[in-house]
Structure 1
Amino acid sequence: MIREVKSYYLTTSRITHFILECESHNGIPIVFVHDILSSSRFFKELMQRMPPNYHCYAYDLRGFGRSQSLPLDATKGLDDFSEDLQSLIESLNLRRTHLVGWGLGGAVIMKYSINHSDRILSLTLESPISPYGLFGTKQEKGIPIFSDYSGSGIFPIARRIQNSIENRIDNNDHFSMRNFFKYITCFPEYYSIDEETENEYINEIFLIKIGDDFFPGNNKESENWPGWCPGDKGIFNAISGKYHNVEEIINLNEKPPILWIRGEEDAVISDKSLLDPIHMGISNIIEGYPGKDEYPYQPMIKQMKYVIDKYRERNGKAIIAILEHCGHAPHIEKDNWFLSVLMMFLSNSDHLILYN
């Protein structure tokens, strides 16, 4: 059965959000939080297929989709997003809820759990950003390569993406949003999204608010390779390890069960991410690369696994699911598998056995 999805705007104590909702009388609440190059729209098909006993919500983060574009203070990490989520949950009168976060959304709900674990039934982390931010760190504990976290913040590819969004580039350019979605976000060998849905996704990406306060943020130069470090505004600075570190989740007194689900072929969140500045150093696009001993790849998967293992050691329940032939968007690329794994986890995580 395909469930009806309604849309509306909701003004909370902090911001006006655009909401998608699948209603269920006295249903179990579940809130979906989207990734960077996306919006709530990317969860619509999943919400339509959720069992009828789940009351589903998805919303556009500030500066994304149709939600209000309020500035993002990067020096607070993802606090703005986290507190927006809290005000949304309060406005929806949800006492406790399941949370599903994809990419950036996974980082948001991990941050949210540190301040509001009493409001969470479970956390599903789909292809989440490393607990130690995006780029500029090394080893499983997320140690900064340089003290200023050079290499994180507004990396060159982010500027190419900005240009594609600003100019609505939808052609054969490598960094057109259509090509980025098909060949980097998704695993291209198994790509099977219909043209109408794909067009809707791309149009949603074009709604992202561009500017120093939003996407991608402001620049700051560094004396260290590769020549930049985090500024103090916007999304890519907010997810730098300088400001974003959610390792503290392992110390929660009340630990919600966690499902970490990812695609085996994820090119974005990986121990050798295609977006890592190192690729530009190796190819000499950015000169002066000091070598892998001094500036290694960020081991994003190892970093996430380290935090998950510590979470388990401290009596938290966590399950890892890895989907074959799948990239960064399992709920879209492997929708049947994703839904099956999610439902098994939400129904009875104690009995779910997956390889890790």
Structure 2
Amino acid sequence: MREPDPAKVEALVGQLVGELGGAVSGALIVLGDRLGLYRAMADGEPVTSEALAATTGFDERYLREWLSAQAAAGYLDYDPQAKTFAMSPEAAAAFADEGGPAFFAGAFEVVQSLWLDEPKIEEAFRSGAGVGWHEHSNCLFRGTERFFRTGYNTNLVSSWLPAIDGMVERLEHGALVADVGCGHGASTILMAQAFPKSRFYGFDYHGPSIEQARQSAKAAGVADRITFQTAKASDFPAEGFDLVAMFDCLHDMGDPVGAGRHVRSALGDDGVWMIVEPFANDELQDNLNPVGRIYYAASTMICTPASRAQEVGLALGAQAGEARLKQVAEEAGFSHFRRATETPFNLVFEARA
């Protein structure tokens, strides 16, 4: 074994202390989210653990320890004189405002699934086999919807669809739209709410997600203009769609080229394939940053195993990048491909035959 540099070891250990703190805090975020503790403190009023216990009905001693951990993490403010804890407006936006643009608590349910399903991925490393999306823990499905919904709420109607040439006008007049790989239907429902004259279809191979999407559409009051159906990306009904959208799912597919060919056959005249993918540069070294770190980790534990579990098993990964995605679209028969817009977390592409 090579002799390490003591100073670099010390620096690395210091970094790992921070990593460990973040890892254990994730479990407490999930706990606080599930119990409604963040929502109970969202008004910003300082509370003692006793007062919070009286408000929520939970055990004071457990609450005291949770509150202390949240303060140590910097998520809550602590007043040592009054012995009270308070939530800042910024923390409330991240942990309590599920419909807001900064909500982040749902992301930690995805992280929870990584730990729960780690033994399955370990076996996949040994065998080379895949692990299907449906084989993961339920918190992955719930957490994915809650995490990505934040970005969709902020960007889908206001900037992503307007970036697709002529699409908003078509949707306003009444278009036929397919949301492929729709999961719990957050993106489909948002579009249906914004464009009441259009007709929407949500497709996903995962039956339980489709059932949840139907319930969510009914609760949102748009079930009359959305049809959710269990179907794969390679065999959903071809209806002459004006828009086929795929949100953060193309890289999970075993045969994205085959899926693209089916999309092409399902589009009507001048139809558009809108592809939303995790933000990535084309070269690995340009993705070695905080966002790339998250996506490579998720790709290792979720996306690549999902693709390997399907036919072809191309395994694009969550950091495929524009050049590789353009190649997929061209192999699927699309001659026009452009980056329509982007955010720090997503790339949005427009493909036309």
Question: Higher relative contact order at CA 8 Å, sep ≥6: structure 1 or structure 2?
Answer: 1
Confirm or deny a common fold (TM above 0.5): no
Q: TM-score, normalised by structure 2?
A: 0.30
Q: TM-score, normalised by structure 1?
A: 0.30
Asked which structure has the greater CA Rg, the reply is 2
